Amino acid sequence: MSVIGVGIDVCDIERFGESLERTPGLRARLFTPGEAERPLASLAARFAAKEALAKALGAPTGLAWHDAEVLSESSGRPHFALRGTVAATAADQGVRVVHLSLSHDAGIASAMVVLES
């Protein structure tokens, strides 16, 4: 396996919450129904994860937010469910493995994504 792409993103949790309040439809546009139920810090981390994934893929246009869903294993470990536009882009680039790490502390949420062939 070799690394195809790496992406990282950070998100100010309070400012992200203000954006969600100011634009009521934003939550539904960015998150699947399962993601949308999570607490604010978790939402900010998931937003950062989707941004980090897009960066790791080279920031192509046309990716749909709902086509990269952040899920948690029973252990709490996060992972992506890719579908549609994101799955097609990843497949075109030869992505076979997606590694995801999330964190939130001191008002900042962060995510890192590594793509491997």
pLDDT at 52: 98
Domains of the chain: 3-116 (3.90.470.20)
Mean pLDDT of 19-27: 96
pLDDT digits 0-9 by tens, 34-90: 999 999 999 999 999 999 999 999 999 999 999 999 999 999 999 999 999 999 999
Mean pLDDT of 19-45: 97
What is the C-alpha to C-alpha distance for residues 41 and 106, in angstroms, rounded to an integer? 10
pLDDT at 1: 80
pLDDT digits 0-9 by tens, 80-90: 999 999 999 99
Q: Which pair of structure tokens corresponds to residue 37?
A: 């139920």
Q: What are phi and psi of 21, to 5 degrees?
A: -70, -40
Mean pLDDT of 80-108: 97
What is the C-alpha to C-alpha distance for residues 92 and 4, in angstroms, rounded to an integer? 12
Mean pLDDT of 100-115: 97
Contact 109, 9 (CB under 8 A): no
Mean pLDDT, rounded, of the chain: 97
pLDDT at 24: 87
